[in-house]
Amino acid sequence: MSTEAPIERKAADVEGPFSSIRGLVTTRETHLNAPAARIRPDAVREALSTLKSEAGYDHLACVTAQEYEDRYESIYHLRSFDDPTREVSVVVPADKDRPVSESGEAVFRTADWHEREAYDLIGIEYDDHPDLRRILLPETWQGHPLSMDYDEDQPQIVALSENEPVEPGSTTATGSDTMLLNIGPHHPATHGVLHLQVTLDGEDVIDVEPDIGYIHRCEEQMAQSGTYRHQIMPYPDRWDWVGGGLLNEWAYARAAEDLADVEVPEYAQVVRTMAAEFSRILSHMLAMGAYALDVIGDFTATFMYAIQERERVQDLLEDLTGQRLMFNYFRLGGVVWDLPESREEFFSAVRAYLDGLPRRLEEYHDLLTRNEILQMRTIDTGILPSEVAKEYGATGPVLRGSGVDYDLRRDDPYGYYDELDWDVVTEDGCDNYSRLLVRMREVEESAKIIEQCVDLLEDWPEEERNVQANVPRTLRPDDDTEIYRAVEAAKGELGIYMRADGTDKPARFKIRGPSFSNLQALPEIANGESIPDLIASLGSLDTIMGEVDR
């Protein structure tokens, strides 16, 4: 809510999270998730650096850009890795006629891609950005699609001569010892339509530039065109379609429910928690199977075993939700319906699955983690030190594989997670092998969570099985109300920023996909290694391009 705080509150605010940058703050704001402050466009670097080093806000979760009638605005959503409930929002207004502000890339490396996206879609320019150019759309694109004056009818036909690829780093010019290698965008090892521009010295990678945007579908713009109550919820399943559907739905539900002050019944929270962990298993199983295919070419054993495991989970989720992939099961205030009838048969099927899972996981370890060839390919390759992972805003198994104990299910509790007994999995190897091992161990923790949820649901009194809160048919949050909320999706922190304008549709809807920040770290873990190591490193990030491009 972009209103200046009363005088009597300013002193308290300044002595709070912004005390270290009091001289840079021009106005305080109130966002539902965190205190917020406006700063001058030329003070971004100083403000972010001070908040990071002196106040401990060392995690730049997201950068949101938007346009108002009288200004442009960038919001840097800062959190602490030690305690993500410690949040602040740094709001940077920019002039309407000349939207320019200072870049935060020198303080947080992850700001690189986030600011490029803001420039691409909104039109804000960032001074001193190391590589300010479009990231999702072609360089020849006319206009900025999320700006107010964007002409949707203008032609976007570009002559072939104007659309020649830009080569990263060194070139293949005469006398050069390097070579440019294009991998993708249609290649099985890129896990979707991802194009890698790789500069090689022999077989050693000296530079790699991920070229994204091939599957950009304007998900944010579609959400801004839908109503909070009914029309947005079907979209999240499509961001990460390989298994993150229910987790994606929860990300939107958590943000919208807090925005509209909706309290979810306890019973529905348990059902959500169980369903979400099944979704996490779906995602991790495909990650493990695809990784075997990438690294050791194992299709007939590990990959097909993993697909069989997914089928078992999909059978259970089909019983619960009615769908096998695009579940659309969550609703604002709860879930769409209760557990299937008969409940006893459903619980029996879930327990049968859980009882057989430990034995099958041992087989996966035999095929993967104990495979000598895979160990040779993944141990001590793709090194991502913990501090570097933090700089890039990496989260999920990528971050926990670098030894950082950060999981929003525990550290910023939601659902029923804080009532259950489970552990956050970390590995300190910082390599490709560690990231694989984290995912495999997380499947075990998901099974523990599901089993406890089943125990609770079996004994829940019938008269207290409320699956939805009483939510108004039409939601109209107060004008200029702003919120950022996130959940721990299978691939990491999945966050949603929304700004209300008093109508039944959000004025701004921003998706913080974990794969976006994780993929940005690829050059850090691939440069200096060989081409096969590059493929292993890319697979260890477990990116899904629908979530990267959105």
**What are 255-272's pLDDT values in tens digits?**
999 999 999 999 999 999
The pLDDT of residue 159? 60
Contact yes or no for 502/260 (Cβ under 8 A): no
Helix (H) or strand (E) holding 295: helix 266-296
Most confident option among 87-96, 146-155, 181-190, 364-373? 87-96
- Position 281 confidence tier, pLDDT thresholds 50, 70, 90: very high
Report cis status (omega within 30 of 0) of the bond before 138: no
- Position 509 confidence tier, pLDDT thresholds 50, 70, 90: very high
Say whether pLDDT at 31 is over 80. Answer: yes
Say whether pLDDT at 429 is over 60. Answer: yes
The larger pLDDT score, comparing residue 296 to residue 228, is at 228
| Mean model confidence pLDDT for the chain | 87
Residues paired with residue 485 on neighbouring β-strands, in sequence order:
496
- Phi first, then psi, for residue 508 (nearest 5°) are -145, 135
The per-residue b/e assignment along 479-514, b for 16 or more CB within 10 angstroms, e otherwise, is ebbbbbbbbbbbbbbbbbbbbbeeebbbbbbbbbbb
Say whether pLDDT at 206 is over 70. Answer: yes
Helices 531-541, 432-458: axis angle to 10 degrees equals 20
Say whether pLDDT at 276 is over 50. Answer: yes
- Position 15 confidence tier, pLDDT thresholds 50, 70, 90: low
CA atoms in the 13 A half-sphere facing the CB of 86: 14
Percent of the chain past pLDDT 70, that is, above it, reads 94
Most confident option among 142-146, 193-197, 208-212, 485-489? 485-489
Say whether pLDDT at 77 is over 70. Answer: yes
Contact yes or no for 357/364 (Cβ under 8 A): no
- Position 173 confidence tier, pLDDT thresholds 50, 70, 90: very low
3-state secondary structure of 176: coil
The pLDDT of residue 295? 84
Say whether pLDDT at 528 is over 70. Answer: yes
Length of the chain: 550
Say whether pLDDT at 156 is over 80. Answer: no
- Position 157 confidence tier, pLDDT thresholds 50, 70, 90: low
- Position 170 confidence tier, pLDDT thresholds 50, 70, 90: very low
The pLDDT of residue 14? 41
Q: How many beta carbons lie within 10 A of that of residue 128, not counting itself?
A: 12
Say whether pLDDT at 343 is over 60. Answer: yes
Say whether pLDDT at 243 is over 80. Answer: no
pLDDT digits (tens, 9 = 90+) for 478-501: 998 999 999 999 999 999 999 999
- Position 51 confidence tier, pLDDT thresholds 50, 70, 90: very high
3-state secondary structure of 12: helix
Percent of the chain past pLDDT 90, that is, above it, reads 53
- Position 204 confidence tier, pLDDT thresholds 50, 70, 90: confident
Q: Which long-range contacts (CB under 8 A, 24 or more apart) does 25-31 make?
A: 28/4, 29/1, 29/2, 29/3, 29/4, 29/5, 29/89, 29/91, 29/482, 30/1, 30/3, 30/5, 31/1, 31/89, 31/482, 31/483, 31/484
Q: What is the mean pLDDT of residues 236-259?
A: 88
First to last CA, the chain: 26
Q: What is the mean pLDDT of residues 441-467?
A: 93
- Position 11 confidence tier, pLDDT thresholds 50, 70, 90: very low
Q: What is the secondary structure of 259-285 as a DSSP string?
A: HTT-PPPHHHHHHHHHHHHHHHHHHHH
Q: What is the mean pLDDT of residues 512-526?
A: 90
CA atoms in the 13 A half-sphere facing the CB of 179: 8
Say whether pLDDT at 35 is over 50. Answer: yes
Lowest average pLDDT, out of 197-211, 292-306, 385-399, 496-510, goes to: 292-306
Q: Is 541 exposed, middle or buried (0-12, 13-18, 19+ CB in 10 A)?
A: buried
Q: What is the mean pLDDT of residues 451-458?
A: 94
The pLDDT of residue 330? 92
Say whether pLDDT at 161 is over 80. Answer: no
